[in-house]
Amino acid sequence: MKVEKATKDQITRNVIVSLFIYILPIAAMFITFLITGQRPWEKKTQHLENTKTITSKNSQNNGSND
Block means of pLDDT (10 residues each) for the chain, 66 residues, are 91 98 96 92 73 61 62
* Res 62: pLDDT: 62
Compute CA distances 9 → 17, 22, 25, 65, whole Å: 12, 20, 26, 56
Region label for 44, one of left (φ > 0), alpha (ψ between -120 and 50) or beta (otherwise): alpha
Angstrom distance (rounded) from CA 65 to CA 30:
42
Region label for 16, one of left (φ > 0), alpha (ψ between -120 and 50) or beta (otherwise): alpha
Q: pTM for the whole thing?
A: 0.51
* Res 65: pLDDT: 64
* Res 44: pLDDT: 74
* Res 17: pLDDT: 98
Contact of 56 with 63, CB cutoff 8 Å: yes
